[in-house]
Structure 1
């Protein structure tokens, strides 16, 4: 089986063992892993998990997470992985050859070669690789985007699995969801642009892909462009080097729907921000739709020109908050609906929803891992198996507490608005809870003092130091305050 794609291929040689007669034997070990999932796709799940654990989350997310499984040649034992650009394909082939070779051969010993290919624009969507999610461990295959979409799409292809139907709505994301549905309808809107912000893995990218697909379904001839801010910068720089910026400008500014993901990545890039600003103006002035995401609100974006931040404030700013327990449980239930044959007991589902709370992407990844490992090993999923399979992830989540969670918990405890955490008010009923939140942020997160200060309304690190010392002093003198702090720590850690 071989699915061809366009693109420039960077090969990573893997020596074939003598006596190997193909991949049939290795395939049998992981056959029938899930309805609709091939053995090679199941192997890709295990390979990604091995790479994430061996390289660390930061390296994996930066370079290997964007890769998709492109194809497998049964006769030659060649695995082809798809990268979003020539540059990334070359970098991965140069810097991660050993890790890719070892991981693939650990799962499928009969693999003879691993190739990393930059996919061509014209075939990215309607092909094997587009069915394999690249954000986390792949799940069962889904239908590809309609054939008309590649003609309308420029930039990064839309993920067919990211739809409004597959998005689980809760209190944490309902404003962003409703705004996204409104924009996708294509009728008159009272806000433009739509700015979505929130932490990693909470659903911002999912909503952008859903908007694009729904909009194309309603307007098949529309020009829809989705790309990351990093890709925007890369293509703009490439256009400048090729002395062809006019083509770049015309391509983006003619879009009926332009979506730019993770705009924080252009911070400090003056020439890129200049072009981004004029592109925003053109899109908005022409009455076309613009959607932008970032990991924080416009006011908290550093290194972004004030005129860009001003334009972002023109439209609707909607936050996507961390999912609460109820929403996480609903996400697991929704995910299981698409996993034919997977049986996850209710107590295991509740355990995952309670313990994997950092973000939705990690929660889905944990569920994928449990189901895949159980199938590969022939085990029944129960509490002991889930804890054993996710031991490293569970340890990490025990230590991962965010400043936003601390602010929310402290605000609820002292019955004040969460916005007071970053306000300029100095009244005692506001200042003391704010100091407690700063203290807990220092004790329970790895964030630096300057970063903590920025999350509390741009305060200086010396203010954070003063708050920490003040609460330490008061805990020794005030039994009631000490009890409050102890209770908050138990709630945050438990």
Structure 2
């Protein structure tokens, strides 16, 4: 009887968890990865077991959702100790992993690209436009306009997104084509295994027979002479045959450490496109684009501004912070406010924040509004002074870790309640006054630059 009660409780909890996952992940992502997840019948309130039809899907869901699922279940059933994600049964593999012993690739075979990473979900501005347009051009039917395409940027700026988008668009436009996406580390591992098994011919044939080859994180084979030699010949093969080759790394070809000059030269002979760090407006646009896939999430503009202004290191961390904030709000049944975001993301915001000082803010505001910096800390109450002062206080609260009393002291020893009033006033005006909102955005860009 106890076992049946357990299963009934877990089943009810699973229904609730699935609903939360659908709302937070968005319909497309949910349908692709999470909808196939099933509850295994011998689950208990101590140990929940979930199943998926393939090993690849199992691994993906484990990597991206295992912790989230545990938190979701515990929110409904506090006694849940573990959530395991298992493969129910084997099915024919659809992922091209460049295994040395794998059979030849046949037309129509597809890598299982991440469905979140498409061109229409890639937010474009001046920092990444050339790279995105180049990726779109490579995906077009017909002879490639250039090969190789070499993408480079710091971590988490969108290289992998563009490669997945390119691969999906290319295969949609060329139904009979074949493609492989592989990391440089996997390329090296498979090559070494092929050497040990004395089966390099199968390794070479599998990689070089495809119409599109994409290799990510190339910097990891720096100093690996044998792997670089094989990679050099692969590059030459694709260039001489006029096929598509796309490479991504964290720096330009000439700056790669431990690479032979002839290989760096080959990589730079196609189109080299860099992706610069996302600026404030792009970061804000990215958050807004992600929220479009979360229609049930109500996020105030000031919270979006907080994320965009404070998490500046890379886009991946920005998206991670957004996902964490939404997940915690769902799990705690809380409304997302500026205070909730500050508490939930406290450590993330502190570690990601560039040290902007109140003095810097005051100088920027005085220059923008053409007032004297000393006026911002004076007793003058004319609107021409009071409004810039309130904006400066607002920015000090949003862009620094200073407490309200500390901010008040920096503005002529004002009380912390004056700072609270200023922050609320500017938040209200930003939703009504286009000029005020534009001024705040402009100042944020200036201060972050």
User: When the two structures are superposed, what TM-score results if normalisation uses the length of structure 2?
Assistant: 0.65
Residue 20 of structure 2 corresponds to: 33
Residues in 2 aligned to 1:27 and 1:189: alpha-carbon distance in whole angstroms: 48
Q: Are residues 1:194 and 2:149 paired?
A: yes
SS in 1 for 2:84: strand
Residues in 2 aligned to 1:158 and 1:168: alpha-carbon distance in whole angstroms: 19
2:310 touches 2:354 (CA, 8 Å); kept in 1? no
Residue 177 of structure 2 corresponds to: 222
TM-fit CA distance, 1:313: 1.1
CA distance 1:28–1:330, change in 2 (3 Å): same
TM-fit CA distance, 1:297: 1.1
SS in 1 for 2:157: coil
1:172 touches 1:323 (CA, 8 Å); kept in 2? yes
1:345 touches 1:381 (CA, 8 Å); kept in 2? yes
Q: Which aligned pairs between 1:426-437 and structure 2 lie closer than 5 A? A: none
TM-fit CA distance, 1:70: 7.9
Q: How many residues align?
A: 336
1:191 touches 1:315 (CA, 8 Å); kept in 2? yes
Residues in 2 aligned to 1:325 and 1:216: alpha-carbon distance in whole angstroms: 34
CA distance 1:200–1:169, change in 2 (3 Å): same
Residues in 2 aligned to 1:283 and 1:119: alpha-carbon distance in whole angstroms: 37
TM-fit CA distance, 1:320: 0.7
Residue 329 of structure 1 corresponds to: 284
Residue 114 of structure 1 corresponds to: 84
Residue 293 of structure 1 corresponds to: 248
Residues in 1 aligned to 2:24 and 2:306: alpha-carbon distance in whole angstroms: 26
Unaligned runs of 5+ in 1: 1-15, 45-66, 94-98, 126-147, 402-490
Residue 260 of structure 1 corresponds to: 215
Residue 109 of structure 2 corresponds to: 152
Q: Are residues 1:272 and 2:242 paired?
A: no
SS in 2 for 1:33: helix
Q: Are residues 1:165 and 2:152 paired?
A: no
2:194 touches 2:200 (CA, 8 Å); kept in 1? yes
TM-fit CA distance, 1:244: 1.8
Q: Which aligned pairs between 1:26-175 and structure 2 lie closer than 5 A? A: 26-27=13-14, 30=17, 32-33=19-20, 35=22, 71-77=37-43, 78-79=49-50, 109-110=79-80, 114=84, 122-123=92-93, 151-153=108-110, 157-175=112-130
Residues in 1 aligned to 2:34 and 2:184: alpha-carbon distance in whole angstroms: 20
Structure 2 residue aligned with 1:210, among 132, 154, 165?
165
Residues in 2 aligned to 1:152 and 1:400: alpha-carbon distance in whole angstroms: 50
Residues in 1 aligned to 2:355 and 2:142: alpha-carbon distance in whole angstroms: 42
2:118 touches 2:168 (CA, 8 Å); kept in 1? yes
Unaligned runs of 5+ in 2: 44-48, 96-104, 357-445
Q: Are residues 1:359 and 2:325 paired?
A: no
Of 313-322 and 29-38, more deviation after overlay is shown by 29-38
CA distance 1:120–1:255, change in 2 (3 Å): farther
Residue 340 of structure 2 corresponds to: 385
TM-fit CA distance, 1:69: 10
CA distance 1:392–1:252, change in 2 (3 Å): same
Residue 23 of structure 1 corresponds to: 10
TM-fit CA distance, 1:280: 0.9
1:180 touches 1:207 (CA, 8 Å); kept in 2? yes
Q: Are residues 1:319 and 2:268 paired?
A: no
TM-fit CA distance, 1:269: 1.6
Residues in 2 aligned to 1:313 and 1:341: alpha-carbon distance in whole angstroms: 46
Structure 1 residue aligned with 2:201, among 246, 259, 264?
246
Residues in 2 aligned to 1:312 and 1:120: alpha-carbon distance in whole angstroms: 39
1:203 touches 1:360 (CA, 8 Å); kept in 2? yes
For residues 143-192 of structure 1, give each alpha carbon's deviation from its aligned partner in whole angstroms, at most 9, with x where no partner exists. xxxxx9994235xx311221110100011100101111111113344421
1:23 touches 1:110 (CA, 8 Å); kept in 2? no
CA distance 1:101–1:150, change in 2 (3 Å): farther
Aligned residues: CA RMSD: 4.1
CA distance 1:204–1:345, change in 2 (3 Å): same
Residues in 2 aligned to 1:120 and 1:267: alpha-carbon distance in whole angstroms: 37
For residues 90-122 of structure 1, give each alpha carbon's deviation from its aligned partner in whole angstroms, at most 9, with x where no partner exists. xx99xxxxx999979856644666356699794
1:85 touches 1:119 (CA, 8 Å); kept in 2? no
Residues in 2 aligned to 1:298 and 1:119: alpha-carbon distance in whole angstroms: 43
Residues in 1 aligned to 2:69 and 2:293: alpha-carbon distance in whole angstroms: 31
Larger Rg: 2
SS in 1 for 2:126: coil
Residues in 1 aligned to 2:259 and 2:34: alpha-carbon distance in whole angstroms: 32
TM-fit CA distance, 1:293: 0.3
1:105 touches 1:111 (CA, 8 Å); kept in 2? no
